[in-house]
Amino acid sequence: MEFGLRDTVVLVTGASRGLGAAMAIALAEEGAHVVAAARSVGSLEEVAAQGHGRISTIEADMSDETSVAAVVPEVIARHGRIDGLINNAGIAPAGKFVDQDPQIWRDALAVNVVAPMLLAQAAGRHMIEQGGGRIVNIASTTGVRGKPHLVGYSTSKGAVVRMTEALAAEWARHNVQVNCIAPGAFVTEAQKAVTESADLHARRVAKIPAGRMADPGELVPLAALLVSPASPFTTGGVFVVDGGESGKL
C-alpha cells in the first residue's frame, strides 16, 4: 500500500534515538521531507545520515517553552508548510511516589504534555490554513493503565490521550486528523536497564502475551499510516501496540 507521503513535510520530535529515530528514517524512506528535532545534535546527525538526504535537523529542548516555540516556525521557514507532526519526545522519571520531589512531576508534565500541546497548537494553525494535516501523539500503555513507580509519567501520558481525543473532535471539520499511539515494551535505549539484565528481561517478557519485547521498526507502519493522507477518516483513535499486555484481565 502506498501511504502517499512523498514530498510531504513531517516533524518528528525525540528523533535522535529509539522510536523517534526509527520513525524519522522510515518516513524519509517513504519520500517525506522529515525534520528531526531533539536535544542531542550528534545523535540527530547520525539519524539524518540514514535519511537519503530527506532528513534535516533542529536542536530543541522540549522542557524549554522558548525552544519549543521556535520549532514549527523553523519547519515552515524551510519547507513552506507542515503536513504532519509526530509528538514523540518524552521523559519517564521513575521512583516511589511518596518520596518524589514535585519538581520531577513538573518536569514530566513540561516535556510530555506542555511541549506536545504547544507544538500541536502551532502546527494546527498552519494545517487548518492549508486545508489539512495529521498529528500523531506518542503516549504509552501507562497512559491507558497506570503503573506503579511511574505516577508522573502515567499522569502525563494519560493527559496526552485526552488531548488527542479533544483535538480530534475540535479539528475534524478542518481535515486535521489527530491520533495517538500507546506503545508497550520496545527494545530501545530507554529500556537498557531491562534488556541488559537477564532477570529483569525475563520478568518483563513474562507479562507480555506475545512473549517478547518489540523492535522499534514494528511501530513504524502504524505511525506512517496515521501521519499520511491515506487515513483521512481516522481521528481520535488511541492505538495500543503492546503484544496484548494491556488486554489481559
**219-234 pLDDT, tens digit each:** 999 999 999 999 999 9
Report the C-alpha gap between 64 and 66 in whole angstroms: 5
Q: How confident is the model at residue 201 (pLDDT cuts 50, 70, 90)?
A: confident
The C-alpha atoms of residue 132 and residue 101 are separated, in whole angstroms, by 42
pLDDT band at 194 (very low <50, low <70, confident <90, very high): confident
CA distances from 76 to 9, 81, 208 (A): 9, 5, 42
Give helix 18-29 / helix 41-48 axis angle, nearest 10°: 30
Per-residue pLDDT reduced to its tens digit, 73-101:
999 999 999 999 999 999 998 899 999 99
Residues with a known catalytic role: 153
Question: What are the backbone angles phi and psi of residue 235, rounded to the nearest 5°?
Answer: -155, 145
pLDDT over 90, % of the chain: 82
Q: What is the pTM of this model?
A: 0.95
Contact 183, 140 (CB under 8 A): yes
- Residue 162 makes CB contacts below 8 A (sequence gap 6+) with none
Q: How confident is the model at residue 185 (pLDDT cuts 50, 70, 90)?
A: confident
Strand runs (DSSP E) across the chain, as ranges?
9-13, 33-38, 55-59, 84-87, 133-138, 176-183, 238-241
* 34-75 residue pLDDT tens: 999 999 999 999 999 999 999 999 999 999 999 999 999 999
In the chain, pLDDT over 70 holds for what percent of residues? 99
Residue 1 pLDDT grade (very low, low, confident, very high; cuts 50, 70, 90): low
Q: How far is CA 3 from CA 6, 133, 213, 230, 232, in A?
A: 8, 14, 27, 5, 11
Architecture (CATH level 2) of domain 9-183+219-241: 3-Layer(aba) Sandwich (3.40)
What is the 3-state composition of the chain as percent helix, strand, coil, each rounded to the nearest 5? 50, 15, 35
Alpha carbon distance 113, 240 (integer Å): 19
Choice between 186 and 192, residue whose per-residue pLDDT is larger: 186
Q: Which residues, in sequence order, are bridge partners of residue 9?
A: 33
- Residue 198: pLDDT band with limits 50, 70, 90: confident
Q: Given the DSSP bridges, would you call strands 84-87 and 133-138 parallel, antiparallel or unpaired?
A: parallel
